[in-house]
Every structure is written in C-alpha cells, then in structure tokens.
Chain A
C-alpha cells in the first residue's frame, strides 16, 4: 500500500464509472465480512445481487489504507440516502454494511404500503441502524462460534464453512422479517405481558431449577413472556440475541432442540447449552444449562411435568398475541402504536393497533415507530447501554458523534408532526415512551396523551 493508495486502482475505477449503473438495489442492505488483516472475504449476505469483487476489495482497501495512516474510517453517506459503515472487531474481522439509497425521492403519502415495505429508511438515522446491525452481527457470530475461533483465525476456509451456521440468524437481522420485534434496534428485550404473570413466573422458576439451571425463560410469539431473574441479568444484547436465536430455531419447526451458545459478554469462550422445547405453536420454553440434563430427559420428564398443567394459561398468553398487552389494559383510541422501554430492566413492550381501525397499515406503523425511535435516540435521548457494553464497544461509541451532548439542558420530551401521524417521545428516569398518535389529535394535546398513556401502562402492568 503505497503513498497513493488509489494509484493502483485508478484504472479499473475509471472503467467502471462509465457504466453508470448502480450495483445495489434501492433500499437493500448488503453485509460484507472479511478478515481484517488480509482482506479475505468470509461471506456476504443480503441483497439479491452480490457486489462485484473489485468493489468489495476497494471498500476494504480504503479502510485498511486509512488505518495505515492513523485514520479510522467509520462511515460514509451518499446522495439519496446511501450509506456505508465500516467496523473492525477484535482486530480480526472486518464488517462492512452497505445500504443503497432510496433514490426515488419523497414518499407518495400514506398509500401503497405493500410496495414500500421493501424501501428502507435513510438519512442520518440509517447510520444508527447500520451501526447496530454490525454490532449485532458480530455478537451473533460470537454467539454461534465463540470468540476464540473468530479472534484467532487459523484456517480461513474452515472459518468460512463454520460461519454458514450463522447465516439464518444474520439473515434474520438483515431482513428484519419479524414485525414488531425492535430489540435489535433498542437492545432491550422484547417482552409480552401475559394476563397472569405470577403463575407463569412460578412455572419458569421451577422448570429451570429442575433442569439444573438458573437461566430459563418462556417465549411467546418471539417475545419474552417471563424469565428467571438470572435471565434478566444477562447483558441486554445477549437477551435480545438469544430471543432472536430462539425465534429462528422455532421457525425450523422442530419440537425441541439442543444448541450450543457462547454468550458474547458473559462467556465468549465457553459454550453453554440452550435447550428449547415447543410447548404450543408459538410458545417455547428455554433453559441455558451445563452438561446435564440431556435433551431427551428434559423433554420427556420435565416439560410434561411443569407445563402440561398450564396449557390453558399458555393459551391465554398466546391469545394476547401481537398486542403484547393483556386485554385488561386499554389504550386510548387515538394511540396508533407505542413502544415502552423500561430503562432499568432493559425490557420493552411495543404494540400497533390493528389496521382495521386506523388509516395506516401495520407495516408502515412499525416502520414509523422504528424511525421515530432512531430519530429520538440519535438526537435527544441518551442510551444507557454504556453501562453494560464491553470497553471496546464503549470506545467505539465514543467516536460516533453525540449530537445530544451539544445540549446545555436535558431534553425530556419531543414530538414530530408529519403528514401521516404525530409522534411523541418522552423520557423519565425510569421509562422511555414512544407513541404514534392519530393526526387528528391537536398538537397541544399530545403531551397529555403521552403522559396519560405512560401512567396507564405502568399502573396497569407494573412494567
């Protein structure tokens, strides 16, 4: 790598420029993984069409070249909302996320949701999303393979092969298929509030204990309904990733499985066993345990013993469904969607009103909620994850510009009036609440709606 890096690549660059064809489709995100030291591609995911090898090489090359000059390239933005984000993990793996811009200009109002579903958000907010994506992908690789294998790459070919086992999980992160799962973004465990939490809590505790484990949880519709205390003590990111893993495992359709996992922060080098049992379609019980018990023994002995008496309760739980709230809790009719985060326990509940009784489609609501969350945290509200992330993570977060740090006074609430709806964000010492509200609600009433919703929710569920 000489003084002028671009000298060597200049010729092919110019050739390519003439073609004037974009390689990435609108709104799609491509993830590139390479070894940091040698630049050998390990895998690429996302986007139907893979980027040409020369482009991958250049993207990696510019970052390496900068590294040699003491300059760390972190992200790039192009017109139309395209973004490239680089990040090196453990000095061994380089992850690059490239997202194509929307290109097509403004959105055409509230109509045509289904087509627009594919189109993703852009702008400054996109960067937050991509940064999160890279973090999650790395953690996910650690979760499956363990840190040792990733940090000290001895056999690249073998690593490539091994990494295939992560693909389903990574694809899940990339595609964000599951509606209503925001944990990847918030790093707060998506929860579902069951109608009768006490019985379930008891069952989970007893079940975990019988399986010689302190870590157990019940997952309903991909969200955590109850979990043992220790489960909540895991790092928030681990809880989120385990939930994602369980979702992808249960999507495979098997009734039970035994899966080795490394905990990216708790035990990145020693694997644990994740036992998953399907209780009902959509409801899974999981434990993290050591060598015992065997999957068979647990399935035949423990599951039946602890869960068969609770089938009715579980059915009630499933009936809560996407709403995530027990029927007893009523929301104001003008609230379209909400995301409530408990800042202390790092749990979140979110819900969208069915589209029959509102002008916006569900998908659009989820998208707006996500975007509004990113908007708020990237500009006004702080994230307290800094408490539980690794030092490496913390230094990295230091480089991202902190717009919120520029405020001399503390932002507490904010709202946004757009054509489709009104959004309101509110932060207290314990909670963060993000709301989408019907556009017909007068702006000055938003605050009342928000505070009332917060007190309703917290009072009814003790969340």
Chain B
C-alpha cells in the first residue's frame, strides 16, 4: 500500500515540478539552482529507486534528522577555500548509531597514539556504512551492524601509515586537492558509465589508462596494485574544474583511503550522494610555480574550512573535539534523583543523567550533594523552591540553575561570564521547555537509557552555543568581531520569533500558498482519494526565510514550541547562512499548550486527544515547520511512525512554489531599512560626511545610486551634516509637494474602497494628535504620538504605495523615513516584541551590516546587554504571565513595583584615541525599554542618540504599524 502510494506520488510530483520549472525557468537568475533541481529529479530517474534520500535515515523511533547542504553552497565554499582542504565532509547523516560510534572512536583515540589515521577510519567507516545501509534496512536493523561495518576499513587502514611514509620519502611531492563529486549527476548526464574508465572517469573525470603505464605487454588480467596515474582529464569534470590535478599526477588516496587501480572503483562507488572528497596526489616533478601555489593554498585552507562547525555538529560529528575545547570552563547538566535510598550501596546512583563526562564537570559533579541538600532544605526555610545558586570554582564564578520536577532535580551549571544571573532563569526555563516539547516531560527525557546519546547531542549543542558561539559559526561567515553573547541570549530568550515584514502582495501570496497546503487537499495524493481516513490533521504551519519568520499559521504557544526547537538546533541561522540543499526533520512533539490540558477554552470543547508530530522541511533559504496531529480527527498513530512521504513531498512542493517569491523577499531584504537607522560612527566627529557617503555607497547598491545623486546635487560640503539630512533636504519638499501627495492619492484609489476611509481616518487622526506627545508614561493611549515631521502616511505600508511611485521616488521616501523626530535621524537600533502574536521585529542582519562602522557593532552589543537587564526588570516586576516556562511561578517580590519603562544613558568614546592634546570626542545614547500592557501587550527596546529628547512611546507606535499579521 505504502509503496503504491510512493509510486504514484513520485510520478505526479515529477510532472508537477517539471511543469513548474518550465513556467518560471526564466525567473531563475541562478543557473545552478534549476540545474540542481533537475539533477536531483534526474537522480530518481536514474536510480530507478523511488525512495527519497532520507528514507534510510529514519530511526527506529520514527525520528528523522536529515540535513544536506546544497550543491551551490558546497561549490561556493570550495571556491572560497581554493580547493585544498584538510578536512571536509558533506552529506553526513546524523543518527543515534553514528553518535555512538564516534564516541567510541574517540575513546580509542585517547588510548592510542595514532591520531592521524583515526579520522580516516571514521570517514571510511561512514562511507562503507552508508553503502551497506539499504540492504541492512531491508534485512532488519540489527545491533551488529556497527561492528560489521567497522571491520573492513580497519583492514584497509592497517597498511596506510606505512605506505604514506613510503610515499613521502620519495622526492615527489604530495598535494591534497578537494573536489566536489556528485554521483547523482551520473544518471542525468548522457555519457554512459559503462566505459572502461568506470567511475574514475565518470565521476571524477580522471582518465587512467592502465595499459599506458604498464606498457603494451600484459593486457588487463594482472592489474593488481597499479598506481593511478592521471593520463587525461575529461572536460567539465570536477577534476579539471578544480585546476589542480595535472596530467601525470598519481592519485594516492581518496579521503585518506589509499587507492590503487584495484580498489578505486569500489571506493568511489561508496560515495552515495553529493560530497566533497579529498584527493591526495603525487606530483611527479613539482614545477616551481605549481609548488609555491600549492603551499600558499595549503595555508589558506587552515583558515576557512568550508563546512561550518555548526553543520558538522548537527551532523553529529566531532562533538568530542568541540567539547575538549571548552573543557577548561566549568559547565554541567545533571539530572539527579531526590529519592535517596541510603541503604543501597551503589555509588553515584542518584545521577540519572550527566553531561559532559569530562573534567569540566567533575568538580561540579563532586558537589552535587550541595545541590540536593539545598533543594531539599531551602524550601522549608524560605518557603520557595531553590532556583539558583552561585559557586566559585577556582577563578570561575558558576551560576547553577535548578528545576525540580516530581522527585527529580535538573541542575544546570553555567559560567557567569556567559550567562548573567539575571538571565539564568530564562535560559534554564527555555531548556526545560524545549525538552518537554521534545519528550513530553523531563522524566521521560532523562530516564530512558536510549535517549542518552540524543541528550548528549542536545546538551553539546546547548553548551557550545552558549560558551563558544563563534566557533560554531566559523567558516560560514568570517566575522572578526567578538560574538554578541548578550544578543543571542536576549533575542533567543524573548518569547517571540523574529519577524520580517513583507510587502502585502507577497505576504498574501505566501499566506495563500500556506493555506492551500494546510487544507490538506493533496488531490490524488490525499488519503481521501483512496477512501482512507487521514493519517494526520495539519494543525498549522509556519514559514521561515533566512531565519526570519514570514508567515505563521500556528497558535502562539505552538509557534514558540516549534521555534524553541529550531533555535536549539540552530536551524534558523543555518538557513540564513548556508543554503540548505534539503532538510527533513520529523519527530513526535508534545506542544506545551496542548499537553497542559484543561485548555480553558469554550465549555464543551475538549482538546482532541492526539499525538503531535513536527515536520520541518527546508529547501535553500526556505524552511517550513508543520505541526501535525494524529488521533483526534485523523487516524490514531501506532507505535512510532516515521515521516510520511506524501506529507514531506507536499511541503517540498509548497516550498518550491514559494521560490517564485524569493526575488520579492530578497528585494525587501535589500531595501534600505524602513525605519531609517543611523550608524553610531557618524555621530563621532572623526568621520567626515564624505567618508560616510562613500562607506554607504560601497555597502549598498541602492544607496550608491542615491549617494551619487546627492553628491551631484549638493556639491559644497556642509561640514558635519549627516547623510540622512542631506538627502532629506532635497527630498522632503518634493515628496511632499508632488510625489508624496500624489502617491498617497494613488495608493488610496488603489486600495479597496473598504479600506480607504479607514486609512484616511488614521492619517487624519495622527495629524490631529500632533504635538500632544508629552507622554507621562502612564501607558500608551493612542493619541500620544506626534508625527511632527513625518511627511508620508506610513513607513510600513509603503509596499502598496511602491507600485505607483517611480523607483527613484521610492528611494527618496525610504530615506526620509525616520522614527525619531528632530532634524537628524537618531535611531540606532530597535527591537519590538508583540507578545500576543509571539513575534518581534528588529533591523535585519543586512540592514545592520550595511551600516558597518567600528563603533556600531559595539553599540549593538551594548544595547543587547542592556536589554537583558531591562527585560529582567520587566520580568521580575510582572506577575507570572507571558513567560515561556509558564509552569513555574515567578519569583515574587520586586520591591520597586511594576516597571513600565526603563532607560539607561551610555557614553562611548572612540577606542584608540591617539591625539594627546585633545580629549577624545564622546557620543552619548539612550537605550530605553518600555512595556505596554494596553491595548496590546508589547515590549520594545530602542537605542537612539541623545541629541533629541525623544519620547519612546511614539517610536513604539510608529514601529508597531508594521506588524500586521
């Protein structure tokens, strides 16, 4: 039945997708994109096997985590690293079994001294395992598979070091070349594989003619142990593209596995999917030019490995190495049993789970008695559960967070320099909620032995993200600035998801596509078609583009659950920094809102008793998370079902459908910041106006045009006038007199008659309230903001206006839009959180990057650090609502009473001020946070220059206009 399903599904999908490709093929700017799609579709043609790639990765409990980088990404990374790579991997699947193997191997590594040979063993083991997997799957998964997979490579490896030694003694040089191979393209290409060159030619593009090197003598029958000399290269093949493989070179090893003509075909055939392999080649006579080039590129490779540590971590590799690098910083997570049975002789029996098992945690583990005793005792003394304690270990101050559930206690120790005590509770609460979403309860998560490797991976990610976030990202982006730890803490800790406002027409389209999908009307694919009961009910889905949420059809709490999972597994940055070839995640989840029962909804309505499953599918920069329910209306789920191909493919189809909109979204991302942002550096007199213009112009193509125009119009330098000011000086009159009013009218007529009076009223109302801005902080009533110098209707609804305006006018309008009042635009940064919808907006990464500057990043770090404090003040003064970790009562008592607004004024100086005679110039700026409970609960945080006495509540209102879901 299932097979029949799959068959039908594949055929239609193919036709569907090909049809779609034809439609929008022109729209694709990126050639490689369509190529790769076609290639992947071709692969299913070729292999004659209709199973999707991820099918083999489904685990016994039905869970799936399949991540594959796109080919474009791989090749881009390759180009960046100029081919020579020390370590690189691709297309690795993460699964329980592998994680186990790796740890096992690392234990070996500790004992043995042969560190060099070890990674090779791992890699080959993986390759071979991959090969074996299909058959094993059919034969049933038995535990012996690991050992059986491990043994053959071990034998191959035995002679490896010796051989390599032998090679190096020779005068000839060894060079390492990384090439990108995609066996799936074999099928798509027309060239037949049956050629004598086999995979070596077809896949790699290296022509090796055994007869040539051996002379004409013996023909083919004794081909043992022949060296693989490169006799020729095939045009357009990976080998020739990399430009480093020369005719005459000898291929010695592939991924540290020595190859000869004997085993090359076997080794190459082990490559199951697109991957990067490292070839070791012996160059016969090193030419001067060549050798210098080689060494220089060898140096380069160390700097930037193509695949970021994050991806490798997600794939489940190298956790031990990463763990080692933070072993000097004390951190621990323990799940302890409070039920002490003093009669039992066993030591450490109260530890139900512990990570990491290393020196980093041993000291903290040693004093677990403190945690247990305090937890037990303090409740009686002070009348409340213990939530944190601070310890000093040598020089490190460690904060320990507690979470008690039934008779067990979760203890998380974190270094104080990473997580301030103010925010520890939020961090612990988020971990607990994530675990609960994933496993239902802490007890279920920790008390099952077979969860241990997964929890190890979970907490490895957790600590890595907190303790060395920069290391995870390295390779993906070459940022030299120190990591913004507070920023990560703050933004991740918000009970909200980063939202990207889109022009309405794109938004509508996205919503329509999502709704179509959610209606589960899969036509011939749907269960209805076969007269069956539905497998799952789609509860809703949300869509991310490059880490921004662009559409959400999930209830808020479910959205937060899903988002916590994504955050924890770094899926959001992954999708923004690297193009994901394919991401398929499937697991059972326990949404907290639904799990808590009692619902509180309308009487007579009970939440259906069902099981919930989370399906996340990512393609390139898009990622869609779907929450499914089994049971209830749909047929109940039995045991632990794996992902259903139909649903996965429908999501994929949805994403493919959405790709048409990518250009529009990119345009939105590339647009100048909608509320104008200033760069902090502009306010220090060091930078001249011209520098400012230039730096802007170079960073943004849109602005460069404008900068040129401005430069042309206002030739005389006006001293310290700001860029924004300049452009404003020329534009406002214009935009007001003709384009502004005109555009406004056009927009009005373009809108539906229903909305026109409404918007007009809004505008009028806003004008009326001009000047009444003297907010007394008594909470925002609608009339409090003034629009003193805002010349246009609404910065955020520009999308509708845009159509009617010429491009130039739009640009001008964008540039004149600012949130602050006064002559200069003084807004540096902002975060606005809409608590009800669970979303927040902040300037996009690209907008921040455009501002560049040296002080600005510092300022943003500072802003985030300050926000931690502000938000902590809000949280402490609030009764326990709206918290993520909702089931813990808020620490009561905050003597100061409910905080509505809190601001801090900072002063900054340029870092290395060398001029001794003059005092360093200073710049002061405010960071202000405000919490509104009425009319909609909102929190917003702004950072602006001190020059204007600003009333932040106005900014909030202006900002919040952009937030229409």
Contact = CB atoms under 8 A, between A and B. Distances in A.
Contacts of A19: 380
A309 interface: no
B776 A443 contact: yes
Interface in A267-296: none
A420 B373 contact: no
Interface string B856-869: 00110110011001
A416 interface: yes
B397 A399 contact: yes
A122 B895 contact: yes
Interface stretch (B83-91, B193-201, B507-515, B900-908): B900-908
A16 B949 CA distance: 58
Contacts of B908: 408-410
Interface in B358-380: 363-364, 366-367, 369-370, 372-374, 376-380
A420 B906 CA distance: 26
A103 B384 contact: yes
A22 B381 contact: yes
Contact of A82 (B383, B422, B950): B383
Interface string B873-914: 100110100000000110111111111111111111000000
B488 interface: no
B363 A69 contact: yes
Contact of B892 (A23, A70, A81, A403): A81
Interface in A89-126: 98-107, 119-125
Interface in A49-69: 51, 55, 58-59, 61-62, 65-66, 69
Nearest to B350: A4
A213 interface: no
Contacts of A375: 873, 896
Most chain B C-beta atoms within 10 Å of own C-beta, residue among A70, A78, A380: A78
B387 interface: yes
A98 B894 contact: no
A21 B389 contact: no
Interface string B771-791: 000111110000000000000
Given A55-B381, A74-B391, A413-B904, A61 B950 contact: no
A75 interface: yes
Contact of B905 (A65, A406, A411, A422): A411
Contact of B363 (A55, A71, A102): A71
Contact of A73 (B347, B370, B486): B370
Given A102-B892, A106-B898, A422 B777 contact: yes
Contacts of A368: 895-896
Given A401-B397, A412-B906, A69 B367 contact: yes
A387 interface: no
Contacts of A104: 892
B239 interface: no
B940 to A, nearest CB: 14
Of A367, A380, A415, A418, most B-chain CB atoms within 10 Å:
A418
A418 B896 CA distance: 7
Contacts of B421: 77, 124, 401, 403
Contact of A407 (B416, B776, B906): B906
Contacts of B892: 79-81, 101-106, 122
B909 to A, nearest CB: 8
Given A79-B384, A84-B378, A379 B869 contact: yes
B37 to A, nearest CB: 45
A419 B389 CA distance: 31
Given A55-B377, A408-B861, A416 B390 contact: no
A422 B377 CA distance: 39
A10 B776 CA distance: 56
Nearest to A1: B369
Contacts of A99: 382
Nearest to B416: A401
Interface string B908-939: 10000000000000001000000000000000
Contacts of B385: 78-79
Nearest to B924: A412
B393 interface: yes
Contact of A414 (B370, B777, B902): B902
B906 A61 contact: no
A408 B894 CA distance: 27
A266 interface: no
Contacts of B869: 379-380, 403
B388 interface: yes
Given A62-B374, A82-B383, A416-B899, A410 B893 contact: no
Given A375-B896, A408-B862, A444-B949, A6 B390 contact: no
B895 A71 contact: no
A401 B865 CA distance: 14
Given A407-B865, A418-B897, A124 B369 contact: no
Nearest to A396: B392
A253 interface: no
A22 B367 contact: no
B903 A409 contact: no
A416 B903 CA distance: 7
A331 interface: no
B342 interface: yes
A66 B122 CA distance: 41
Nearest to A100: B382
A72 B866 CA distance: 29
Contacts of A420: 897
B865 A406 contact: yes
Contact of A78 (B366, B369, B370, B379): B379
Contacts of A16: 377, 380
B907 A443 contact: no
A5 B905 contact: no
A7 B901 contact: no
Nearest to A76: B389
User: Which of A20, A72, A124, A125 gathers most chain B CB within 10 Å?
Assistant: A124
B867 to A, nearest CB: 12
Contact of B377 (A3, A13, A65): A13
Given A13-B377, A407-B866, A419 B897 contact: yes
Contact of B393 (A70, A105, A380, A444): A70
Given A19-B380, A106-B879, A409-B906, A77 B373 contact: no
B369 A6 contact: yes
Given A408-B858, A417-B901, A101 B384 contact: yes
B373 A9 contact: yes
B381 A79 contact: no
Nearest to B858: A408
Contacts of B342: 7, 10-11
A17 interface: yes
Contacts of B949: 444, 447
Contacts of B422: 124, 403
Contacts of A298: none
A372 B896 contact: yes
A163 interface: no
A78 B393 contact: no
B381 A98 contact: yes
B382 A101 contact: yes
Nearest to A7: B342
B88 to A, nearest CB: 36
Interface of A: 3-7, 9-11, 13-14, 16-17, 19-24, 26, 51, 55, 58-59, 61-62, 65-66, 69-84, 98-107, 119-125, 367-368, 371-372, 375, 379-380, 399-401, 403, 406-420, 422-423, 439-444, 447
Q: Which 10 A-B pairs have the closest CB atoms?
A: A82-B382, A102-B893, A79-B384, A121-B895, A22-B383, A122-B893, A80-B384, A5-B369, A81-B893, A417-B901
27 contacts: A5-B369, A13-B376, A16-B377, A26-B383, A62-B373, A62-B374, A69-B366, A73-B370, A73-B389, A76-B390, A78-B385, A80-B892, A103-B384, A368-B896, A401-B416, A403-B421, A406-B420, A407-B865, A408-B862, A408-B865, A411-B904, A418-B877, A418-B897, A423-B896, A439-B777, A442-B774, A447-B949
